[in-house]
DNA sequence: GTCTATAGTCGGATAGAC
DNA sequence: GTCTATCCGACTATAGAC
């Protein structure tokens, strides 16, 4: 808050502390509503370190986005690879695919709802959806496209919809929405649960419930797209 | 932009223009990142009108929230009443409830994804989820609680889950998530569709797809909560 | 009720000592 | 590479004329 009671920090240390503080503050308040003075104070570094190391506030924001995307990639890499292996293997059974689906829901529940860092990450993602900055592509290409690809392979396998078809792309979004809403509407969720945080039991309940619903979705799937010209000429 | 080429506007007119401009600008940039100068310029009124009429920027924000909530209530009131009537009538069949579900999905698709005003409304809701202001209760009590109550009655009727149970509350959120994600992740959705806006055909496809999935969810429903102590003592 | 002018604060970036 | 001191622009709110 005031001054660090230590000797001069190393170069890497200062940059690292600013990125950590930036992840938290940009997530909470957004890019324009976070001041360089707040950032420097939270990181315990000098104000002038921001223009010096990152070329300005926007440079720091850019570095924060690259950092959180790399962090999420590391967190999800193994899970994604396992699921993709099942989907890409023609010998795997439908039962294998359903097991992979359960693993995917559980993994995404943990990644999205579990730790505190994910809160800041998703807040940044939401702000970029509302008002994209030039750094939006980092999030889209680095994180979102990958998640979508895995879900797409999984649901494509279970519904028979062709990869890249609009119906599959939209269904992937709708299915992911079942989980995303708990992140996006966390505050509202907690009000309904009468709690101030999601407990382990809540996470377990959400994961089970989404697994049940997603299995029901693929079991009751019937293609609806391309909307075959609804009631063409009343014929 | 500069000056209005007219005589002095009426009192009500100035307030109305500021609220309209506020809905758009607060939705795009948020409370703290929208300046009074932007607001006054967009509304075509004098800067000093904001403290005069609303007591300051935050007072205008408060008025904007009350305005959008009232607008959504008017938009949804009839649909909600119809669905609640079906759910509250013990004589209505399961088929009636499924018809109400279809009407609800179509109605919410139109309300949430259809018009331009809903974009600003949902952006404000998202920002309040990230960093709530004292005005958050206006949104929660005035809009969200009502939507949730209707979905809850509908899904309670179709699954047999008791009103107010945690599982029903969470399932309502998960089901709504299927639609909410298209609003929250509109930018990403459009990238996948390779379009710059959602056409009527897109909306129709989304509504059909969510209806199909939600019907599948209630058909394949199996209660998962309260998680019956997952593998209690491995017995 | 609306305007101009301005007070007072806080923002990001930089110069230059160390 | 880090610090202090400072510039200058943008912000919200207000005073006071009309």
What pLDDT was estimated at residue A12?
Answer: 82
Contact call for residues A185 and B129 (beta carbons, < 8 A): yes
Q: In terms of CATH architecture, what is A67-221? A: Orthogonal Bundle (1.10)
Measured between beta carbons, the chain A residues lying within 8 angstroms of B224 are 205, 208-209, 212
Q: What is the DSSP letter of A232?
A: G
> Is B177 close to A180, i.e. CB distance below 8 A?
yes
Contact call for residues A131 and A72 (beta carbons, < 8 A): no
Give CA–CA dist A45/A25, Å, rounded: 15
What pLDDT was estimated at residue B63?
Answer: 98
Measured between beta carbons, the chain A residues lying within 8 angstroms of B149 are none
Chain B residues 48-107 with a CB less than 8 Å from chain A: none
* For chain B, domain boundaries: 11-54, 67-220
Give CA–CA dist B138/B161, Å, rounded: 29
A33 beta carbon to strand D: under 7 Å: no
A11-54 matches A67-221 in fold: no
What pLDDT was estimated at residue B3?
Answer: 39
- Residue B7 DSSP SS3: coil
Which residue is closest, via its CA, to the C1' of D12? B36
**Which tokens hold the place of B235?**
């017995």
Give CA–CA dist B134/B65, Å, rounded: 11
- Of the candidates B145, B130, B103, the one whose C-alpha atom is nearest the C-alpha of residue B184 is B130
Name residues of chain A where pLDDT drops below 50: 1-7, 233-235
B223 beta carbon to strand D: under 7 Å: no
> Which alpha helices (DSSP H) does chain B contain, by range?
11-29, 36-43, 49-54, 57-88, 94-109, 116-130, 136-139, 145-159, 166-184, 186-193, 200-219
Fold for B67-220, please state it: Tetracycline Repressor; domain 2 (1.10.357)
Contact call for residues B174 and A213 (beta carbons, < 8 A): yes
User: Touching check for A118 and chain B: CB below 8 Å?
Assistant: no
From the CB of residue A34, how many other CB atoms can be counted at a distance below 10 Å? 23
Consecutive 10-residue runs of chain B (235 residues): their mean pLDDT? 46 93 97 98 98 98 98 97 97 97 97 90 96 96 97 98 96 98 96 93 96 98 77 48
Contact call for residues B202 and B195 (beta carbons, < 8 A): yes
Measured between beta carbons, the chain A residues lying within 8 angstroms of B32 are 29, 32-33
Q: Which residues contact A105 (CB under 8 A, 6 or more apart)?
A: A179, A207, A210, A211, A214
What pLDDT was estimated at residue A107?
Answer: 97
Residues A123-145 pLDDT 10s: 999 999 999 999 999 999 999 99
Give CA–CA dist B185/A129, Å, rounded: 6
**Which tokens hold the place of B61?**
């924000």
CA distance B52 to chain A (A): 25
**Which residue out of A124, A217, A218, A229 would a mutagenesis test of the B interface target, given it has the greatest number of B Cβ atoms within 10 Å?**
A217
Q: In terms of CATH architecture, what is B11-54? A: Orthogonal Bundle (1.10)
Q: What is the pTM (predicted TM-score) of this model?
A: 0.92
Chain B residues 22-51 with a CB less than 8 Å from chain A: 27-30, 32-33
Q: Could you tell me if residue B9 is left (phi over 0), alpha (psi between -120 and 50 degrees) or otherwise beta?
A: beta
Measured between beta carbons, the chain B residues lying within 8 angstroms of A213 are 171, 174-175, 217, 220
């Amino acid at each position: 808050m005031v001054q660090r009671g230590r000797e001069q920090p190393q170069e890497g240390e200062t940059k690292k502390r600013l990125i950590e503080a930036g992840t938290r503050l940009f997530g909470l308040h957004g890019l324009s509503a976070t001041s360089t003075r707040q950032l420097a104070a939270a990181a315990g570094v000098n104000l002038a370190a921001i223009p010096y190391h990152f070329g300005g506030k926007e440079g720091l924001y850019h570095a924060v986005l690259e950092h959180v995307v790399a962090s999420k990639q590391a967190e999800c890499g193994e899970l994604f690879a396992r699921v993709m292996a099942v989907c890409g293997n023609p010998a795997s059974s439908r039962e294998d695919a359903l097991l992979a689906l359960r693993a995917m829901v559980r993994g995404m529940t943990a990644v999205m709802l579990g730790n505190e860092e994910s809160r800041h990450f998703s807040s940044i993602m939401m702000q970029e959806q509302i008002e994209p900055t030039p750094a939006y592509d980092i999030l889209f290409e680095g994180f979102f496209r990958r998640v979508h690809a895995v879900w797409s392979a999984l649901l494509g396998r279970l519904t028979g919809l062709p990869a890249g078809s609009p119906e599959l792309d939209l269904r992937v979004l709708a299915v992911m929405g079942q989980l995303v809403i708990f992140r996006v509407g966390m505050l509202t969720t907690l009000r309904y649960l009468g709690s101030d945080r999601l407990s382990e039991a809540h996470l377990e309940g959400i994961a089970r419930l989404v697994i049940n619903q997603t299995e029901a979705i693929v079991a009751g799937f019937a293609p609806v797209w391309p909307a075959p010209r609804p009631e063409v000429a009343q014929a």
